[in-house]
Structure 1
Amino acid sequence: MKNTPVTIKDIARSLNISISTVSRALRGMQEIHPETRKAVMRLAEELDYQPNQLAKNLAKSRTKTIGVIVPNLSYHYFSAMLNSIEEAALQAGYSVLVCQTNESYLRETTNIQNLLRSQVEGFIISLSRDTDNYEHVERLVRKNIPLVLFDRYAESIDVSKVIVDNHAAAFKATEHLIENGCRRIGFLAGPIQLVLSNQRVAGYRAALAKHGLSVGDQYVFHCDYTQENTIMQTLALMSLPQPPDGIVVISDRMAYSTMYALKQKGLRIPEDVAIVSFNNEPVSALFSPTLSSISQPIQEMGTETVRLLLRELNATDSTVTKETKVMETQLIVRASSMRQLPAQ
């Protein structure tokens, strides 16, 4: 037998009074006779009446729901970020609706429309690999819908952002390879339209320039984050007349494919080619050799992302100053980058 929730209509019918009288009595309004209010409250308790919170929130244009859009939840970084975001949102009394774009611009635009239809109050978004047109995001800004971007973002969109210092992180990773004897360092970057990727390439070049090494484009190859493309680009990089003796890779997931390709060519890591990447996924410590990687403060980033969104959701007007929170990273050194330096 279906257990249907008790409604104020049921209470009104049982007491032979109007629905509006029950509603006002439940809200404790003084114009309702005390005996009537007492009878309504007693019956509501007996019938275990629960107010329809969603209907109440909709009436106030509040659903207490946040829409989160990420490129792919199979990426450890995004699944870990989602855990942090959801925890912070729940503590603030909000629930989270999650969509993934699978790196598709079209799916990203569809996700936004679907979440709008679901009455989310605001958005937390990390842009897809294929997104190079931001009109769908700019439309949210023009409508004054609260929005925070994290990790992957566009500089032209005037919203709050939570990111890491990508330039400094790549500088740190590249300099580490230099300090371990690498002199021809390649960079396996992401798609050229990604701000995050370009910032890391700039940091890589800055480290090379500081140490007087080549900063030409011949050692920078752009990948699309897929395993097949990363292997292909790794083999192309290693086919250069003077192949690199060190590689900075934009993500651990890509680095695993890079290490596979290098081993297939019979190259030793780190003796022949040293590797450093980004994200410090848990499996990086289990690979052979273990993978050196840039660690990001994911827990703090998720909490900060929600804080910035709640700041806009709770604002009394739409003139909240946009804030970009830049978080610091840490290089976790493991076997993949620790070369034996030649004796002096």
Structure 2
Amino acid sequence: MKGEIMSEKNESRRKPSIKEIADRTGFSPATVSLVLNQKGSFSDETKHTIRQAYAELSHDRALAEGRLLIRVLIEQYASFETDPYYGEIIHGIEKECSLLGYEMVLSFVREGSDSQAWLNQVGGLIALGGGLITDELISELRHSGIPLVLVDNYTHKGDILSVHSDHYGAGFLATEYLIGRGHRRIGFISGPVKYKSLVDRYAGYCAALMEHGMPLDPQFITPNFDDGYIKGYQEMKYLLQLSERPTAVFAVSDRAAFGALQAMNEAGLADGEIELIGCDNVGGSQGMAERIATVNIPRLEVGQMSVRFLVEAIKGNALVGKVVIPGTLALPSAE
């Protein structure tokens, strides 16, 4: 036990202090502490500056101590700190890096970011998610010669190793679950097409309908509304105004399902009046686990496995293609 406590103390000394970050950014220690602990209300620019300083100081300290670096690239967006989906993947990456003797450095991709700044003194790169991590950016990273693994993203050529859950299978599984419960009018709440994982979930939805001889009704597939944080809210309102509503809905993510539930509650619908299933299994963080079914995406395992394959690539044993980890159905705890 004493050794474990010492290990925790040593780990804490390796991290940049609040004072160091405050000195570098010019913000007060109180502001730095609140941002790092995901409290308070600050502009995206302030949060980015503080997080970037933390990453740079971590990078400098790791180099000074002779530790090997793995840089994780992820699109920056306003709700990143509260997103349990990517947060769990990053936790898996960080955990496996520590186990294998590497230091994880997190960098945020923004419009106009200089990709060359991410390539200095790193042993390998993990590009996480889609959005601003476009095919063009992936090509740039690949041609840098630094070992690269994609997570929750992939190239259609399969020429770069990618690790992700089976999002197509998740969409199929969710839709087939609703079909098995007797539904024939099944709506789909869509997501932004810039994320390949969400496009694959839609493809799985379509395939399940076809497999069971059911038509793909365009009116049951929502447009993707840009409604800030409340994903799924406007999409469900769109479905509720149809003269013939769906009896069940597959929401492309749990966050979209939470917004859909809000719209259903405002419309006076009772639980189960329109059956809803999400995807990701992050409902526990929102108190929704007992209300809706979902598909569990093994996010921690995805993060850990991406590091294992990247370390092999760093050692010269690079692979290409896709490593796909299946999801599983998670029923409401009330059932």
**TM-score over 0.5 for the alignment?**
yes
Task: Check 1:285–1:191 CA distance in 2 against 1; reply closer, same or farther (3 A cut).
Answer: closer
Q: Say how many residue pairs are matched.
A: 270
Q: 1:247 aligns with which of 238, 246, 249?
A: 249
Task: Check 1:269–1:214 CA distance in 2 against 1; reply closer, same or farther (3 A cut).
Answer: farther
Task: Check 1:191–1:53 CA distance in 2 against 1; reply closer, same or farther (3 A cut).
Answer: closer
Q: Output one character per residue of 1:214-237: Cα deviation in whole Å (capped at 9) or x when no partner.
A: 213222224358434531122112
Q: How does 1:1-344 map to 2 (within 5 A)?
A: 54=63, 64-71=68-75, 72-101=80-109, 106=111, 109-110=113-114, 112-117=115-120, 119-129=121-131, 133-156=134-157, 158-223=159-224, 226-228=228-230, 230-270=232-272, 272-283=273-284, 286-287=287-288, 290-315=291-316, 320-334=318-332
- Partner Cα separation in structure 1 for residue 117 and residue 181 of structure 2: 50
**Greater Rg by CA:** 1
CA offset at residue 129 of structure 1? Answer: 3.0
- Partner Cα separation in structure 2 for residue 135 and residue 263 of structure 1: 42
Task: Check 1:55–1:299 CA distance in 2 against 1; reply closer, same or farther (3 A cut).
Answer: closer
CA offset at residue 238 of structure 1? Answer: 1.9
Task: Check 1:288–1:78 CA distance in 2 against 1; reply closer, same or farther (3 A cut).
Answer: closer
SS of structure 2 residue aligned to 1:278: coil
CA offset at residue 212 of structure 1? Answer: 2.4
- Partner Cα separation in structure 2 for residue 238 and residue 192 of structure 1: 23
- Judge conservation of contact 1:226–1:254 (CA < 8 Å) in 2: no
- Partner Cα separation in structure 2 for residue 116 and residue 314 of structure 1: 18
CA offset at residue 265 of structure 1? Answer: 0.8
Match of 2:5 in 1: none
CA offset at residue 285 of structure 1? Answer: 7.7
SS of structure 2 residue aligned to 1:232: helix
Task: Check 1:86–1:289 CA distance in 2 against 1; reply closer, same or farther (3 A cut).
Answer: closer
- Partner Cα separation in structure 1 for residue 62 and residue 168 of structure 2: 46
CA offset at residue 73 of structure 1? Answer: 4.0
Match of 2:42 in 1: none
CA offset at residue 310 of structure 1? Answer: 0.6
TM-score of the pair, normalised by structure 2:
0.73
* Structure 2: runs of 5 or more not aligned: 1-60
Task: Check 1:56–1:163 CA distance in 2 against 1; reply closer, same or farther (3 A cut).
Answer: closer
| Structure 2 residue identity aligned to 1:66 | I
TM-score of the pair, normalised by structure 1:
0.71
